[in-house]
A and B are shown apart, each in its own frame.
Chain A
Amino acid sequence: MPPATDLGWWGVVIAVLGGAARVSTPYLFVSLGETLTEKSGRVNLGLEGTLVMGAMSAYAVAYLSGSPWLGVLVAGAAGAAFGLLHGGVSTLPRVNDIAVGIALFLLGTGLAFYLGKPFIEPVAPRLPHVALGAWSASPQIRAALEVNALFVVGAVLAPLLLWGLGHTRWGLVVRTAGDNADAAKALGYSVGAVRTLSTMAGGFLAGVGGSFLSLYYPGTWNEGLSSGQGLMAIALVIFARWNPIHCFWVSLLFGGATALGPALQSVGIASNYYLYGAAPYVLTLILLIASSSPRHALAGAPSELTISK
């Protein structure tokens, strides 16, 4: 075993992995939420707004109450409320769910900036982390393996969601609503209600993802906190083929890609800073182009989905 102070390339790898776990959490929560929503046959493009709203409300509540976990809960509730709004409006006849998503993207960010103005200055308590590296004597390993508690929750949630969608009654109802609305109706379920509930649950998760941004990493609230993570997570669901486990791996990939930029900067490669900043968007676009097809519906796509038609 190499000495603790000299991990060599392993140190870089561990730093990127730790960074990936850190940065990927919002991607993970938003993509899991969107997967659930899209499985029911709706697209909620407004999760970017939900993410910002979640970040703001979590920060405000954590600051006012002193409890970061209460902040997480309220962020989820705010996300669910936005999901209810999206689901309710989209259930009306002749209303396009994608357009509603754009409207809620704008409303969510506007509302968060409006309500969050007084909370830019104060400092809120942060979420705790789990020291997965406690066994090691190496400070680098210990620092890299300080994993946020929410990441652990998300990592457990991904297989749980896969199992729930595949093996429970509720999962079957959601999938039926997403694959064949008429069949769901024939079974006696209200398609609108199932989709609205799925959108609410998806919004809850996206709100929790937002709380991570303000309460752990970067751990502050300001108006430039999220720069399209919510949007990239939605594109990521298409690449992950609506599979929660794939969402987990792809989120890690994105987290790693985003963590590589700051890592390069820390070893002195600081030029073209903004160009590296564009990398995640370009990567998303390339993946989106690669996973699209002009001829047939995408494998694994819920057939009622407007986005894949």
Chain B
Amino acid sequence: MASVALSEAEKVYIVHGVQEDLRVDGRGCEDYRCVEVETDVVSNTSGSARVKLGHTDILVGVKAEMGTPKLEKPNEGYLEFFVDCSASATPEFEGRGGDDLGTEIANTLYRIFNNKSSIDLKSLCISPREHCWVLYVDVLLLECGGNLFDAISVAVKAALFNTRIPRVRVLEDEEGSKDIELSDDPYDCIQLSVENVPCIVTLCKIGYRHVVDATLQEEACSLASLLVSVTSKGVVTCIRKVGKGSLDPESIFEMLEHLCMAVTSKTLFRLASAWARCCMPPCRVFYTRRRAWGPRDRKSDSWADVHSSLQLPNVRLLLFPGS
């Protein structure tokens, strides 16, 4: 993984800061950096999104292709994940250098989507045992500035939200042979419900405390972190410990409690904002359609649109940390 070399003094500075709930960039331990989400960035995909979280920059393209259902699930479509750690993120990823990290992230994505609730796979089936939609979710890592997993999960969710799959009909004639008919209207397509698609929250253990949305420098100070994928309803779909260090069970429970406490108490304003921070790192979501890196005419839709479109928790979120 892309990493930075820190001196002992720098590490002490970061660790002591975290103990005082003050991080190098001025955030508290539970604050996310600014998130920018853009959808519809690549026009020859079924759906695409680009997410920028600090210096982390992720581009996700979803392509829908027709395939055959898996034998054990004859009436469901499926998702395929591929993560490309491009050399532009760091020269270490040149050639095959990024393959290990890419496979690790892809496997994590498989795991967090490996349940019935995340996405309605039955809607991807065209005719049982014969045809289904296969969604190829391709993640491209453009820049790496820490907290990859969270940013990727947000980008995948946004890209799936943006995905339009053409509507097809199966016609059967008297002899029993089947024909697939594609709708003539290009706007006649199905959209996936991404309400239950989880987002990953990575809690990084630094010293005796844990932080969310760690930068590269903070990741270098942390020995282990806990990766939790959680939906907006508070359902946890996957937990993983990552990193070379170890975590004691107590601190794992403490971290989870922190998450759960924030997830369950919706009424309190203070907690609602904490919940928002945990379920989907908002802070500031710029929601732009159809403008990539080109000259930017950034249009921030109203907050309500942003939330409904990304299926953010339905509370009035405090979008600016500290406000």
| Chains A and B belong together in one complex | no
